[in-house]
Amino acid sequence: MTPENQQLIDARKPIIDHLKVELIKRLNLPLEPADIHEDVALLGSGLGLDSLDALEIVLCVENAFQVTIADNNIAVLRSINTLVDFVLEQKKGGVVTP
């Protein structure tokens, strides 16, 4: 693996792992972390979460990574990957640990 890619994985993986574990615990999902593809839709189809679940995800991300997600920013709530992109963008340059 190229060192650049390894670096990108090191930045991304802890956020993904944390979010999956939290999502399963907080939302009582009948899945294992490995069962949740990072691109699967969170709301509507896919995991089929609802508006309260969305607030819970927002709170979870905000508390874990010290970021703020605006009330109307539904674009970041589309998948785990869009959430991770948002967190990394907000923390640009800094180290992100949950």
The three-class DSSP label of residue 8 is helix
Tokens 């709170």 belong to 59
Site residues for another protein, 1-20, by CB under 8 A, read 1-2, 4-5, 8-9, 11-13, 16
Exactly one of 14, 24, 47, 98 binds another protein (CB under 8 A); that residue is 47
Burial 17-39 (b: 16+ CB within 10 A, else e): ebbbebbbeebebeeeeeebeee
If binding is defined by CB under 8 A, does position 71 make contact with another protein? yes
Contact status: 21 vs another protein (CB under 8 A): no
How many angstroms from the chain centroid is the CA of residue 87? 8
Footprint of another protein (CB under 8 A): 1-2, 4-5, 8-9, 11-13, 16, 26-31, 34-41, 44-48, 50-53, 55-56, 59-60, 63, 71, 74-75, 78-79, 81-82, 84-85, 88
